[in-house]
Amino acid sequence: SELAHRRIEVFDEQLPGQPLTRGLEEEELEILRKVGGKSREALAADVAAACFLCKEAGEAAMAQLNFRIEAALRSIGAESLRKRQISQQMDEARASAVAKFEEALWYYLDASGRLPSFMEESAWDAEGDFGTARAAAKAQLEAVSAEVKAQAVPGDRWETRLCEREAEALETVLKERLEGLWKQNVALKDKEDQRAAAALERVKVELGTILPKTPLRRVLVPSAVEELKTRGEACRKKLDKELEALSCSEVKLKTEEAFQAELLESIGGTVRANDQLIEHRRDGLQRAGGKQKERFKAICDEALEASRVKASVGDRELQGLTKRREFLVMAFEDEAKSLLGDGVLIERGPWEEELLGAERVSLESVMDEAFQEVEARCSELRWQRRRRLLLPLGLALLVAALAAGASAVSAALAAGSSGTTSPLVGGGLTPPSPAPPLPQPPSAVQPEPSMASDGGEEPEEHRRGEESEAMLQSSEEAAHDVNDEQPPPAAAETAEPLPAPPPPPPPPPPP
């Protein structure tokens, strides 16, 4: 028995530790069987050398060793078989999970297993296409691992460690595969970025051809600005059509934002430059017109002041004002050419022509108003001069009419006293004809009053003045004493006859 225990200890020392860390292969189990055979041979030699008198004691020691060897080999063999089967099951489960992952990726890959086009980075997220495929593969392996762990021997953590190793191996395979696809995707994104940049450059060149050259030489009318915006929008649509072939939304968004900024900078800058040009030319032309308006007003004010001093404005002064007016209009036109262009070397646009026409009309309107004021003053002075000349004539005619009436009355009285019949109708007295009405003063905007007599046309102005002056030279002093106020109108048809003068006193009786 002692010899058997010693050989059993030696045999146990040569056995692998249990529980086994892995399933032993058949070759390894065969080595353990040979170790058991050598232990039997050693025990038999020990028994023979001891020269046991009792044969049954030697057989009992051998039986005890054989039981231990067979039990150890059966236990190790069974455990090795179970663990080899579990290892094979986990290997197959991991391979099946990888195959399922590759099958899920195959929809997004080409025949060579590479990405044919860019995929959004969200595909690698947990909720993305690749993320969900990865989770499905890991879930499949975890299901098998749960079954293995359920069949584990209590106290043996081999199955647990095996499942962890298989899960790590699967994660390594999936990670390497997804990292490879990520690198391919980055390369595809770079290519799409280059394509988008080329498309953007082409559209920018086309946009540059529709923009007017800066600085602007003429103002763009609203229709031209709207057309410019429309053509810019057409360029944007063309870029969008080229970007439709790209898969990267980030690249497309970045390109669209870059073109939008370029569009705002180019067309918006042109519109701002156009607004500044409008303001500059409008203000400049208004200043030019205002300057000529002020100059002509000053000239007209000088003429009016001179008329107050000299009490006369002649045709020569009016002709001078006309020439000065033409000169100021020409000066305005020259200054407008420097602002808007001459229309020959520098073409004017419709906006410039419209602005120039409006400012020219405003200038002429102000000049007409100032010139009419001078003309009105001239007419007023002429009327005052005629009134001073014609008033003595009217007084003389009135005196002559009164004298003629008195003579007629005296003749009638003399004829009555002598017993002769008066040549007048019915022997009565006929009142003298009424004096002609005095001329009326003209208004500031009406033509000069007519001085025509009952039987002829109106003589010329200067001729009438000379004749009146010659006829009434003797009564000029009386004309200056008359008030300058305008006489009331009196029509010849409505004038009442003058009352007859009182009869002369009767002649004294004869001596």
Distance CA 227, CA 350 (A): 16
User: In this predicted structure, which of 165-174, 357-366, 378-387 has the lowest mean pLDDT?
Assistant: 378-387
pLDDT at 23: 67
Helix/strand/coil (H, E, C) string of 136-201? HHHHHHHHHHHHHHHCCCCCCCHHHHHHHHHHHHHHHHHHHHHHHHHHHHHHHHHHHHHHHHHHHH
Which has more pLDDT, 478 or 397? 397
Distance CA 464, CA 462 (A): 5
Distance CA 468, CA 254 (A): 97
Distance CA 351, CA 221 (A): 6
Distance CA 156, CA 152 (A): 7
Q: Which of 323-332, 369-378, 417-426 has the highest mean pLDDT?
A: 323-332
pLDDT at 307: 73
Q: Say what percent of the chain tops pLDDT 70.
A: 75
pTM recorded for the entire structure: 0.52
In this predicted model, what pLDDT tens digit does every residue of 388-409 receive, in sequence order? 777 777 778 888 888 887 888 7
pLDDT at 150: 86
In this predicted model, what pLDDT tens digit does every residue of 307-334 receive, in sequence order? 776 655 667 777 888 888 889 999 998 8
Task: Render 364-390 in DSSP notation, one character per residue.
Answer: HHHHHHHHHHHHHHHHHHHHHHHHHHH
Grade residue 58 by pLDDT with cuts at 50, 70 and 90: low
Distance CA 177, CA 105 (A): 10
The mean predicted confidence, pLDDT, of the chain is: 76
Task: Render 310-346 in DSSP notation, one character per residue.
Answer: HS---HHHHHHHHHHHHHHHHHHHHHHHHHH--SSSS
pLDDT at 439: 46
pLDDT at 433: 47
In this predicted model, what pLDDT tens digit does every residue of 447-459 receive, in sequence order? 333 333 333 334 4
All residues at 6 or more sequence positions from 420 whose CB lies less than 8 Å from its CB, including other chains: none
pLDDT at 403: 82
Determine contact, residues 348/218, Cβ cutoff 8 Å. Answer: yes
